[in-house]
Amino acid sequence: MAEKKSLEKIDDYRWRIPESLAPGMRVPGLVYANEKLLQAMEEEPLKQVVNVAHLPGIVNYSLAMPDIHWGYGFAIGGVAAVDIEDGVISPGGIGYDINCGVRMLRTNLREKDIKDKMRLLIETLFSRIPSGVGSRGKLKLNRREGAEVLHKGAQWMVERGYGTAEDIEFTEEKGRLAGADSTKVSQRAMERGAKQQGTLGSGNHFLEVQIVEEIYEPEIARVFGIEKGAITVMIHSGSRGLGYQVCDDYLRIIGGAVHKYGIELPDRQLACVPINSPEGKDYFAAMAAAANYAWANRQYLLHLTREIFANVFDATPGELGMGLIYDVAHNIGKFEEHTVGGTKKKLFIHRKGATRAFPPGHPELPVRYKACGQPVIIPGDMGRASYLLVGTEVAMTETFGSTCHGAGRVMSRTRAIKAAKGRAIHQEMEKKGVVVRTEGRNTLAEELPEAYKDINDVIDVVHQAGISRRVAKMKPLGVIKG
């Protein structure tokens, strides 16, 4: 058990779980947290950090971000890099909602422009953008088109007029993860995906209209095209039922193959196979296809959002300055090059509830952002704030170019529903100046602000630890959720 008393303090924001804590650990654990977050942290996710340290081929550390909480196999907020020669790939290290991620738009609107139209805007967004469990999109894809989306991702949408070339430039991986193969995706997954393209989803997925409350790095903010008082939009969604089904299918396949490769694990939920095995290659190809589906989904949601803003404000998206700042994935597996022991190596990075945070000068950054570093978009809960950060060299050195992804739950959904009993959450949000519309009856209860860690504490840790830098803080004004 990774009891808190076993943690070794490195500094105010880093804690080490020694390799000697449990037999079979191949690397230590490294937890990013301050005293406050650590005291509130439950034991189970720390135990999962220890379990991940048992994976064959894992390099340097089993990493935990400050928003860490319990997940399937891996903790949510976990990062693990493995050597591609002798390492493994684990669906639990990427998660059920493959390429759940966030994109952020700038606008040239200010609060005075939007104040009298906020309720109309939120109502229109809610009525036009399908949300909720099992919601169906208006974009109907036949079998051939469905397969094309899985190969081309966001690029498929832009080719059909649902966006611009600039949208692709400012999307991680340019909205298309190489190696996708739709033939490795089950028919059941394809059927679920055909109905749900262009939908927001349920639970913690949202579309939020925000105002920039603070600017910490004016020069970088200027490059990103935002300033204090500007209205921004954040879209948080993933691969919907298709991604869930891909994960479910391959957990079954890989779970049945673990012993075939003689892999010993402390938790069956860590089911994994060698990256270069037939099962590993098939899972990566299906996972990449689901990731592309999610990028296409967020691209279409962006298109709908622009249309709705244009209608409400009687102006074109161009006149409203609705440019994409960036799109990041936070449940994904990638082949990347990193320096290990002074030598550059190709690794496979599992990021589950963790965001890529590449530094200035990295070759994968858009030209416009080369001098700044990669935009890192971190949503908080609907009652507090969200943040825009940038990646750093410290992240490349310590965390394989990774940082946190959100606030992180402190209450299960069941506990949150109990805590909300008898309360008028809509009214509570209204008093905070946030207009909210939701589809599901329990969504507001499940997504109580207090069901999450304070995003300000989480951001303080990653900023002070140096694995990403604060650029701007946004306050919610209106939100739609499933």
Q: Which amino acids are annotated catalytic?
A: 405
309 marked as part of a ligand binding site: no
Q: Which two tokens stand for residue 400?
A: 């394989």
406 marked as part of a ligand binding site: yes
The candidate with the shortest Cα–Cα distance to 226, out of 242, 214, 244, is 214
CB distance 311 to 30 below 8 Å? no
- The C-alpha atoms of residue 356 and residue 395 are separated, in whole angstroms, by 9
| 416 CB-near residues (< 8 Å, 6+ apart) | 445, 446, 447, 448, 451
290 marked as part of a ligand binding site: no
- The C-alpha atoms of residue 351 and residue 93 are separated, in whole angstroms, by 7
Count of Cβ atoms closer than 10 Å to residue 462 Cβ: 30
207 marked as part of a ligand binding site: yes
- The C-alpha atoms of residue 16 and residue 340 are separated, in whole angstroms, by 19
381 marked as part of a ligand binding site: yes
405 marked as part of a ligand binding site: yes
CA 15 → CA 7, 8, 63, 264, distances in Å? Answer: 6, 5, 10, 27
205 marked as part of a ligand binding site: yes
- The C-alpha atoms of residue 174 and residue 160 are separated, in whole angstroms, by 16
| 85 CB-near residues (< 8 Å, 6+ apart) | 57
Helix (H) or strand (E) holding 248: helix 240-255
DSSP assignment letter at 409:
B
380 marked as part of a ligand binding site: yes
- The C-alpha atoms of residue 54 and residue 80 are separated, in whole angstroms, by 11
382 marked as part of a ligand binding site: yes
Which phi and psi angles does 363 have, rounded to 5°? Answer: -65, -20
288 marked as part of a ligand binding site: no
- The C-alpha atoms of residue 116 and residue 33 are separated, in whole angstroms, by 41
379 marked as part of a ligand binding site: yes
Count of Cβ atoms closer than 10 Å to residue 110 Cβ: 14
Residue numbers in the known binding site are: 97, 204-208, 236, 330-331, 379-382, 386, 405-408, 481
Residue numbers in the known binding site for GMP are: 204-208, 330-331, 379-382, 386, 405-408, 481
Residue numbers in the known binding site for Mn(2+) are: 97, 205, 236, 330
